[in-house]
Chain A
Amino acid sequence: MTAPQQSPFPPAGAFRPELDRRIGVFHRLGFQTLLQREMRRLWRMAAMVVVAPAVMAMIYFACFLFGLGPQRGTPEGDAVLTFLVPGLIMLSVVLRSAENTGFSLLFAKIEGMLVDQLMAPVGAREVVLAYALGGVVAGVVSGLAVWLGSLVLWPLPVAHPLAALGFATAGALMMALAGLLTGIASTKWDHMSAWFTFLFVPVSFLSGLFAPISGMPPAWQAVVQANPIFHAIDGFRWAMLGSSHQDPGRSALIVLGVCALLYALAARLYSIGWKMKA
């Protein structure tokens, strides 16, 4: 339906009469435009999305490698490192995707340009999906960067590549939606950083990321089991290493279920304009 374009990005707001303006059940053009906006935003911050998480993950890895002390080079030590790699990849995926949606929405709100998308004939469905997809791309790309970095330091064969991509995408989608919700709920940057410091980062760190939960006290295990990020990471670990704490099918169901809940909540809040329409 679109004419071939010279530039991948047509000028914003350009009048293109060839485009069909009738809006059906799903406003495809609106969705595409918002998604394109998210992609451009991502492209401009490419260095921060790709390089910073990869460097940070390598630093964590080095700390663990040296921190092993006398265990370094032994089978037990190697097992700790092998366990760690999928966790570090997923840490980057989940935090980066939440950051992307949350900051994008809050920035629009604070700068006063949120009105442009509230006025346009796009519904909550299109907006939430466009943001979420932008967050998924950011998360998965940063995860890929960390994975490439891990190939240098600690190369591991990937047992189920497609499942790995699937779990990374599902985990990213879950956190992109969660990030979007915090963006909706926040009105200041302080609120946003509080959500990350006091909720997202602790919940991601204490999710069996660095150490197997089988070594934890039972009460603590129950707490971690209730953490959806644990399931995303555990499923991803199964996809990468071929073994995990629990059945990957169960992990996938839990993550997708939480995604559905968060989507419904985000779409509802966006459509009533909570904290967005005066």
Chain B
Amino acid sequence: MSQTSSPMPRQVGAVNWIGLATMIRREIHRFLKVWVQTIAAPVVTTLLFYAVFALALGGVVRMVGDIPFLQFLAPGLVMMAITQNAFANTSSSVLVSKVQGNIVDVLMPPIAAWELTLAYVVGGIVRGLLVGLVTALAIAVVVPLPLAHPGYILFHAVMAAGLLSLLGLIGGIWADKFDHMAAVTNFVVTPLSFLSGTFYSINSVPPLFHFLAHLNPFFYFIDGFRYGFIGQTDGTLGTGIAVMLGTNAVLALTAWRMLSTGYKIKA
């Protein structure tokens, strides 16, 4: 050590806090910069759905169980907005980086695979929750939304957003072009989120669909989330929580494994 004035490499401990914070900041800044597309547009679309379904199916008197249809519908639509936007955020972030080639800037720095996974997921969760919050506030202007169990609302929102962020991350790593991602969105995410009890109580559908709904994680998000608002559930909350925790764990491991082995992202 003859030249003591030479710059020392920064020591990274068990957690690269600066790297993690920078990645999270980038993920959030990325969507906030185009907030018209990432926040305002989904809110408008969701409110449109609300208006359309309320007009066509609601009537003023229609009830689902003891709950007015308009109150029943609102949490489902908010949850749909949360999940679709969490998915859109991570999937587009990774895929755009891949297509434009700047994913290398994420892979080269000393950031561990789990830190990358976490940063992407946090970005997706923040976008999902922001869209959900704005949508819920807008709906609350028209229809009073009770808050029966706020803890359930937060828990299910974070769990669902996390799950879809992970799914988007995995999809983004797997997809080679935008067509692949559009196919996943059109043929997997949208059908699952629409046919999951957003618009109806699954107790009123034919037995086959009732059974299929219980295999669909979206059903548990929406059911538990709705329970948080109106205190009425179509399924079993405990099963739902177990399904969500389990699915999240499996997806997190898969995403972490993909990022650490560089599947489809390192040549």
Q: Which residues of A contact B (CB under 8 A)?
A: 48, 52, 55-56, 59-60, 62-64, 66-70, 72, 80, 84, 190, 193-194, 197-198, 201-202, 205-206, 209-211, 215-216
Determine whether B263 belongs to the interface, using a CB cutoff of 8 Å to chain A. no
Closest Cβ neighbor of A202 among chain B residues: B48
Bound state CA distance, A159 and B170, in angstroms?
Answer: 48
Q: Is the CB of B204 within 8 A of A193?
A: no
The answer, among B62, B187, B199, for a CB contact under 8 Å with A55, is B187
The answer, among A48, A190, A198, A210, for a CB contact under 8 Å with B56, is A210
**Main SS at interface, chain A:** helix
- Known contacts A48-B179, A194-B36; is-contact A56 B57 (Cβ 8 Å): no
Closest Cβ neighbor of B193 among chain A residues: A59
The answer, among A66, A68, A202, for a CB contact under 8 Å with B209, is A66
Closest Cβ neighbor of A84 among chain B residues: B56
Q: Report how many residues on chain B are interfacial, defined by Cβ distance under 8 Å.
A: 30
Bound state CA distance, A80 and B199, in angstroms?
Answer: 15
Closest Cβ neighbor of A204 among chain B residues: B48
Determine whether B201 belongs to the interface, using a CB cutoff of 8 Å to chain A. yes
- Known contacts A67-B200, A69-B62, A205-B48; is-contact A211 B55 (Cβ 8 Å): yes
Determine whether B205 belongs to the interface, using a CB cutoff of 8 Å to chain A. yes
The answer, among A66, A193, A205, A216, for a CB contact under 8 Å with B52, is A205
Bound state CA distance, A205 and B48, in angstroms?
Answer: 7
The answer, among B48, B199, B201, B204, for a CB contact under 8 Å with A63, is B199
Chain B 14-48: CB-based contact to A (< 8 A → 1; otherwise 0) = 00000000000000000000101100010011001
Q: How far is the CB of A106 from chain B (nearest CB, A)?
A: 15
List the B side residues contacting A216 at CB < 8 Å: 55
Q: How far is the CB of A95 from chain B (nearest CB, A)?
A: 13
Q: How far is the CB of A182 from chain B (nearest CB, A)?
A: 15
Determine whether B104 belongs to the interface, using a CB cutoff of 8 Å to chain A. no
Q: Is the CB of B44 within 8 A of A64?
A: no
List the B side residues contacting A215 at CB < 8 Å: 55
Q: How far is the CB of A233 from chain B (nearest CB, A)?
A: 13
Q: Is the CB of A55 within 8 A of B209?
A: no
List the B side residues contacting A67 at CB < 8 Å: 53, 57, 199-200
**Main SS at interface, chain B:** helix
Determine whether B51 belongs to the interface, using a CB cutoff of 8 Å to chain A. yes
Bound state CA distance, A59 and B189, in angstroms?
Answer: 12
Determine whether B93 belongs to the interface, using a CB cutoff of 8 Å to chain A. no
List the B side residues contacting A80 at CB < 8 Å: 56-57
Q: How far is the CB of B266 from chain A (nearest CB, A)?
A: 29
List the A side residues contacting B51 at CB < 8 Å: 205-206
Determine whether B198 belongs to the interface, using a CB cutoff of 8 Å to chain A. yes
Bound state CA distance, A205 and B191, in angstroms?
Answer: 19
Closest Cβ neighbor of B62 among chain A residues: A69
Bound state CA distance, A67 and B52, in angstroms?
Answer: 12
Closest Cβ neighbor of B205 among chain A residues: A66
- Known contacts A63-B200, A67-B200; is-contact A197 B41 (Cβ 8 Å): yes
Q: Is the CB of B44 within 8 A of A198?
A: yes
The answer, among A52, A56, A66, for a CB contact under 8 Å with B204, is A66
The answer, among A60, A63, A69, A193, for a CB contact under 8 Å with B41, is A193
Determine whether B190 belongs to the interface, using a CB cutoff of 8 Å to chain A. yes
Chain B 116-129: CB-based contact to A (< 8 A → 1; otherwise 0) = 00000000000000
Q: How far is the CB of B47 from chain A (nearest CB, A)?
A: 9
Determine whether B182 belongs to the interface, using a CB cutoff of 8 Å to chain A. yes
29 of the cross-chain contacts (CB-CB < 8 Å) are A59-B190, A60-B194, A62-B194, A63-B194, A63-B199, A63-B200, A66-B204, A66-B209, A67-B199, A68-B200, A69-B62, A69-B64, A69-B200, A69-B201, A84-B56, A190-B36, A194-B41, A197-B41, A197-B44, A197-B45, A202-B44, A202-B48, A205-B52, A206-B52, A209-B52, A210-B56, A211-B52, A215-B55, A216-B55
Bound state CA distance, A121 and B64, in angstroms?
Answer: 63
Nearest first, the 6 A-B pairs at minimum CB distance are A210-B56, A66-B200, A211-B56, A197-B41, A67-B199, A63-B199
List the B side residues contacting A210 at CB < 8 Å: 52-53, 55-56
Q: How far is the CB of B188 from chain A (nearest CB, A)?
A: 11
Determine whether B239 belongs to the interface, using a CB cutoff of 8 Å to chain A. no
Q: How far is the CB of A270 from chain B (nearest CB, A)?
A: 27
Q: A205-B51, A206-B48 known; 16 other A-B pairs, CB under 8 Å?
A: A59-B195, A64-B57, A67-B53, A67-B57, A68-B57, A69-B204, A193-B37, A193-B41, A197-B41, A201-B45, A202-B44, A202-B48, A205-B48, A210-B56, A211-B55, A211-B56
